[in-house]
Amino acid sequence: MDKNTLLQVWPIPAFDDNYIWCIHDGLSALVVDPGDATPVLHYLEQKKLSLTGILITHHHADHTGGILELLNILGASIPVYGPANNEIPGRTVAAMEGDEIEIKAPHISLKVFEVPGHTLGHIAYFANTQSNISEPMLFCGDTLFASGCGRLFEGTPTQMNQSLAKFAALPNNTLVYCTHEYTLSNIRFALAVEPNNSQLIAWSEKAQALRSQNKPTLPTTIGQELQTNPFMRCDQAAVIAAAKDISGQHDLPSSAHVLAAIRAWKDRF
Ligand SMILES: [Zn+2]
């Protein structure tokens, strides 16, 4: 395969609202967070792709449940990259902050970020612009969603705030491949936080149109999330005011406190 052929990234729908992202060059494929093997096997067969690697962001079953079946059926030698700080079935490469993962086919270089919050061991994979990638790509698991963020099952608001700050520092045109289609419900909440955010209102209309045609609302971009995602806007006056109002706290001294207040609100929204 020509090194300069652009890589393709496609969603493989799984369960009710998961996306298993497939990165491929027309011959070789990686999948991210295969919670279920069956739709992955169907997709690979349909597209005549061979699986050359599995990338795992965190230990939850809807992201890892298909790994062993894929290895059993397609070959036990397929490398499985996953967070160093969790038990991941079949993991062969324990990935940590700052690691650079070089994959030959499909040809891609991935940088690892540790992003605790949703789980403590959660990692994300970032591909900067390369000869076969025209825009940077982020595979963020359940840390960041379009207009939302993952529930804090294991980590603290401070950890999630720091994790989202790592993403905020990436280029605005970075394509963000979230693993759930939660966008419309996230937008309903985001509009409760910031009813006058004009970019959010426009995004709401676009997202509703996509869903009414049964199309994914993803990938999103870092630039769009900085404009529309309340969890990435905890330093903005409108978000701070809404967080104070809902929590009844007059003093929210840091953006982590603001995130804690709006996350608690979202959990009961
Ligand atoms: Zn999860």
- pLDDT tens digit at each of 269 positions of the chain: 555 689 999 999 999 999 999 999 999 999 999 999 999 999 999 999 999 999 999 999 999 999 999 999 999 999 999 999 999 999 999 999 999 999 999 999 999 999 999 999 999 999 999 999 999 999 999 999 999 999 999 999 999 999 999 999 999 999 999 999 999 999 999 999 999 999 999 999 999 999 999 999 999 999 999 999 999 999 999 999 999 999 999 999 999 999 999 999 999 99
Residue 2 falls within a domain, yes or no? no
Residue 73 falls within a domain, yes or no? yes
Report CA(115)–ligand 1 centroid distance (Å): 12
State the angle between helix axes of 255-267 and 237-247 in degrees (0 to 180), rounded to the nearest 10. 60
Q: How many structural domains does the chain have?
A: 1
Report CA(215)–ligand 1 centroid distance (Å): 22
Q: What is the pTM of this model?
A: 0.97
Q: Residues of 11-23 as b/e, b for ≥16 C-beta within 10 angstroms?
A: bbebeeebbbbbb
Q: Which residues surround ligand 1, an ion (CB under 5 A)?
A: 60, 142
Report CA(190)–ligand 1 centroid distance (Å): 21
Report CA(122)–ligand 1 centroid distance (Å): 9
Residue 46 falls within a domain, yes or no? yes
Report CA(15)–ligand 1 centroid distance (Å): 13
Residue 61 CB contacts under 8 Å (≥ 6 apart), including other chains: 35
User: What residue numbers bound the domain in which 254 lies?
Assistant: 8-267
Report CA(4)–ligand 1 centroid distance (Å): 34
Q: Residue 5: what pLDDT? A: 83
Report CA(131)–ligand 1 centroid distance (Å): 32
Residue 1 falls within a domain, yes or no? no
3-state SS assignment for residue 232: helix
- Specify the CATH number for the domain of residue 251: 3.60.15.10
Let me know: does 118 contact 86? Beta carbons within 8 Å.
no
Q: Residue 2: what pLDDT? A: 57
Judge if the upstream peptide bond of residue 11 is cis by omega within 30 degrees of 0. Answer: no
Beta pairing partners, 11: 21
Q: Residue 4: what pLDDT? A: 66
Residue 3 falls within a domain, yes or no? no
Residue 61 falls within a domain, yes or no? yes
Report CA(118)–ligand 1 centroid distance (Å): 7
Report CA(57)–ligand 1 centroid distance (Å): 9
Report CA(153)–ligand 1 centroid distance (Å): 8
Report CA(85)–ligand 1 centroid distance (Å): 15
Residue 134 falls within a domain, yes or no? yes
Report CA(158)–ligand 1 centroid distance (Å): 18
Report CA(60)–ligand 1 centroid distance (Å): 5
Report CA(199)–ligand 1 centroid distance (Å): 28
